[in-house]
Chain A
């Protein structure tokens, strides 16, 4: 699985967009980008994933650069409840290969009033 690099921490003002970057310069053509978050010692929570097109769901948007070497997770209107550690994970989506996710250190996002 390709390695990812994320900033250790970020701050965001409540109500503003939070843009969390992730570098994955060694990503392979069949590897997806997954985002999870973990709110203070709770179980990690899936946010979104994508291959090469931008994706949006009710939680967030995922923007993947054309060369797929980096991506940005966007929380459009951050709230205090979005304070969490955000993990960017690159993984093959296979039918036969185990679905384990390898978590790095992630980005600790602090949303401030």
Chain B
């Protein structure tokens, strides 16, 4: 158990819909990362938040948005869903902004599996 909690574990929805994925980081971790893993793309970095502020952005579509709340949990919002958005979405957390000052470890949750029909 990494200490990172993601909900829901599974989600089935239709094209054009909007969903919200939730992540609770490990206690005390200030950084939250979102990754998407589809069969043909591998693990793709989407975005990082640190203590409520966006710190790094990857291949995140404009239809997707994220935020980190004062209690440090994060939400990933996916809208106007397409079939190609079907994937596993992972959240990870770490104590600091970067990888220095600790073990350099990102702790990953078990993921939310999104199926768009």
On A, residues with C-beta under 8 Å from B are 32, 34, 36, 38, 41-46, 49, 87, 91-106
Contacts and interface: CB of A to CB of B under 8 A. Distances in A.
A35 to B, nearest CB: 11
Nearest to A46: B105
B100 interface: yes
Contacts of A46: 103-107
Interface centre among B50, B104, B109, by most chain A C-beta atoms within 10 angstroms, is B104
Interface of B: 2, 4, 31, 33, 35, 42-43, 45, 48, 50, 55-56, 58, 88, 90, 92, 94, 96-101, 103-111
A32 B48 contact: no
Given A43-B4, A43-B111, A91-B99, A100 B58 contact: yes
B104 A34 contact: yes
Contact of B104 (A43, A93, A104): A93
Contact of A101 (B45, B100, B109): B45
A43 B108 contact: yes
A93 B90 contact: no
B6 to A, nearest CB: 8
Given A42-B110, A93-B98, A100 B45 contact: yes
Given A32-B104, A43-B110, A100 B33 contact: yes
Nearest to A43: B108
Contacts of A93: 98-100, 104
A44 B108 contact: yes
B92 A96 contact: no
A94 B4 contact: no
Nearest to B54: A98
Nearest to A41: B88
